[in-house]
Structure 1
């Protein structure tokens, strides 16, 4: 059982002195983990990671869903190693860029052109800019889903909107997933003003209702609005061709990232030729500054991407994730049922993208009870804010997780019976990553978590 986090805690304190928030991604922050139990990692292999204190964990979330083939997946590492000897960044395109584009477009038949970048926000913001240029409109409709970009147009809609001009905030409006009427009403109320409709075609928690995506497509066509699919999570986790291939609805533009490189930094904007060409040299229209990044086409990540494409063609990683995910969900949910707490803890979602719910004695979602569950999993060698799995998770990994979860749920039941986590949870509960103030996990100098 893991119990020593002293070195991790020391390094986390030093990170807070040098890096705002103590991590370079808010979702990786120490405030997302139990106090004094935020591991600082050293390496990973397959589905296992190790921290600076020598603890090992079966990991879930897998690099914020960016790793589907497993950490240090050898064919990807080998492809990158081979490319390193050729240099990484040049003053002109390489043949590798052409081959990678061909590979990508072979997976996404609804797209005619693609441009690579380094992070998902680059791609989604470029899509919004392109839609605005193509339509001459300003407003953007986004679905009520958690995250699209670090840029102003989206962050202005979150609680962390400090520094965002109000005019930017006012240009973005929300509609509800699986609610065509909410989108219809929005587009009708501002007729002729919406440049783009942006959504994830599906999420871990929500599949599209029959006719929903088709209805969104038609509404965009009827209103002359560009349809943008965010495929950051669904791409390579629903299928190599993303959600659009699963559900048979083709957007005008789609945005990709995360698992494209199995952890190597690469993203993409893809779409129809008549739109994408506005950022090129074969247009008479005013040119759109689409994507222009120094490191977008660096060879290492393109080589990793091509190796990922090859793996998806030969190894069926999505099927492996779905099979292991179903076993994991069934095992943990059975344990919760056996303990009589299935109404309070449950594993839900698409098998390749599982999350867990945590509820208090009254049945309300609870950060305190969530933190207790995380704490007990960490102590038993399971690391993750979710149960998002990879193709590298073995039967042994899944069984270890089910066993650890069963023990954690026994502690959870004690808290439910007591009506509180007091005496069972060490420290303060976790808090939402995107919140207006640092409280309730605000730190004073010298504190690490």
Structure 2
């Protein structure tokens, strides 16, 4: 049928469409008037979601969330991959609440700082010391400062295939969002490609004695080539540089809770966060003693102001992290993430095949960390078709900027999601044949990293 010149699908089996976001739409202008971009995290902003989307989530339980209009959704992405166990996971909440009742922040360190550090060091291969902070950007920036101090060099090489390491100048200067960043930051930041040792060697040749460290994720959408990570570490050491591995995402999602342990490599410094707190704000920098100790005072070198923040070791966040690590030790969390991801991937692949969309819609990545790619009729990645797909999932009760599962996604949740994907891809198929403008409501989503704003998305 057609409404206002726009075609809508007839309901298929299992489709119950959600189009009611009145309360969200009323709150959006207020949010944008007091918060730049309307949200405190760019990836959660209105420009990242269709017009037909919940603007504000009010509560969550397991893998289910409810918006301020009372709509219920199965959620994927799970707090930007931070909530690997599930929202309001009882054991984690109980541990945090118990500690909150005893106090959240003291004048001297808490004993939990020692206990949590010791637990994390059991996970990170080759690491001897830990510093906790609140977010991943702070941890990676501390790693960069430490690498520069340890090596006496200024340049940092970032993996161009892993787009976000920090909101600080040294990393954001590699994106189109350069406003407010000195040109000097860009001159000190180099780029290299994943799985390309020759390219890394070329950087060392072009900048002899100047590179302090290479930083990358251990893996993202593809696994490292055999020997790549160890080869990159050896290359760094041969040229007097350090290897920093960012495990914000792979930590506690990959087997053994660490991609370093899984792939058999030890970084000089590594960073953890996201799943470590199951939504509570805690991240960590871990590394070898001879490097990390520069942030202390038991040495005769110039001291590094490493990490020192009022809230860096809030006790309830550390209590949550200790509970999370205990759950990972005692329960098959990683195995479940992998199994449920595989179930979802197989179900979606079957639907894709049914609609003949293998050239237009793909699911990639490790089963515990799946993302999808949407392409137009020419097979070109398309923000328009990504928006349409997300819109149609939302209308069927699924929020999915990715297909990242949690420990709380049941078989029934996965199967309901596959049904929703079936309905969404039915519309996707029609849009390829007839044009997406007949089905998409409003503007498409936009990349986070873009040079200029767009008033139309507010």
Shorter-chain TM-score: what band?
over 0.9
Task: Identify which of 173, 181, 186 aligns with 2:198.
Answer: 181
Residue 331 of structure 1 corresponds to which residue in structure 2?
347
| Whole-angstrom CA distance in 2 between matches of 1:240 and 1:50 | 33
Q: How does 1:78-97 map to 2 (within 5 A)?
A: 78-97=94-113
SS of the equivalent of 1:146 reads coil
Q: How does 1:408-427 map to 2 (within 5 A)?
A: 408-418=424-434, 420-427=435-442
Is 1:64 matched up with 2:80? Answer: yes
Contact 1:255 1:269 in 2 (8 A): yes
The verdict on how the C-alpha distance between 1:36 and 1:408 changes in structure 2, with shifts beyond 3 A counting, is closer
Is 1:253 matched up with 2:255? Answer: no
| Whole-angstrom CA distance in 1 between matches of 2:282 and 2:256 | 15
Residue 225 of structure 2 corresponds to which residue in structure 1?
209
Is 1:190 matched up with 2:207? Answer: yes
| Whole-angstrom CA distance in 1 between matches of 2:319 and 2:383 | 41
Residue 6 of structure 2 corresponds to which residue in structure 1?
none
Is 1:434 matched up with 2:453? Answer: no
Q: In the TM superposition, what whole-angstrom CA distance separates every residue of 1:182-222 from its partner, at most 9, and x where no partner exists?
A: 1010011111110011011101x110001111110110110
Task: Identify which of 308, 315, 318 aligns with 1:299.
Answer: 315
Q: Give 1:348 shift.
A: 1.4
Residue 163 of structure 2 corresponds to which residue in structure 1?
146
Q: Give 1:143 shift.
A: 0.7
Residue 252 of structure 2 corresponds to which residue in structure 1?
236
Q: Give 1:256 shift.
A: 1.0
Q: How does 1:361-440 map to 2 (within 5 A)?
A: 361-418=377-434, 420-439=435-454
| Whole-angstrom CA distance in 1 between matches of 2:26 and 2:413 | 29
Contact 1:30 1:38 in 2 (8 A): no
Is 1:162 matched up with 2:179? Answer: yes
Residue 134 of structure 2 corresponds to which residue in structure 1?
118
Is 1:350 matched up with 2:366? Answer: yes
| Whole-angstrom CA distance in 2 between matches of 1:346 and 1:206 | 14
| Whole-angstrom CA distance in 1 between matches of 2:335 and 2:317 | 25
Is 1:265 matched up with 2:270? Answer: no
Task: Identify which of 319, 324, 330 aligns with 1:308.
Answer: 324
| Whole-angstrom CA distance in 2 between matches of 1:241 and 1:320 | 13
Q: Give 1:240 shift.
A: 5.0
Aligned residues: 441
Contact 1:214 1:249 in 2 (8 A): yes
SS of the equivalent of 1:229 reads strand
TM-score where L is the length of structure 1: 0.97
Q: Give 1:347 shift.
A: 1.5
| Whole-angstrom CA distance in 2 between matches of 1:105 and 1:211 | 24
SS of the equivalent of 2:158 reads strand
Residue 146 of structure 2 corresponds to which residue in structure 1?
130
Contact 1:324 1:398 in 2 (8 A): yes
Contact 1:60 1:389 in 2 (8 A): yes
Contact 1:240 1:312 in 2 (8 A): no
Q: Give 1:241 shift.
A: 3.7
| Whole-angstrom CA distance in 2 between matches of 1:412 and 1:422 | 11
SS of the equivalent of 1:301 reads helix
Residue 45 of structure 1 corresponds to which residue in structure 2?
61
Q: Which runs of 5+ in 2 are unaligned?
A: 1-16
Q: In the TM superposition, what whole-angstrom CA distance separates every residue of 1:340-378 from its partner, at most 9, and x where no partner exists?
A: 112111211100000011000000000001100000000
Residue 220 of structure 1 corresponds to which residue in structure 2?
236
| Whole-angstrom CA distance in 2 between matches of 1:86 and 1:270 | 28
SS of the equivalent of 1:422 reads helix
| Whole-angstrom CA distance in 1 between matches of 2:256 and 2:106 | 29
| Whole-angstrom CA distance in 2 between matches of 1:280 and 1:184 | 33
SS of the equivalent of 2:97 reads helix
Cα RMSD (Å): 0.9
SS of the equivalent of 1:292 reads coil
Contact 2:256 2:262 in 1 (8 A): no
Q: Which runs of 5+ in 1 are unaligned?
A: none
TM-score where L is the length of structure 2: 0.95
| Whole-angstrom CA distance in 2 between matches of 1:245 and 1:6 | 48
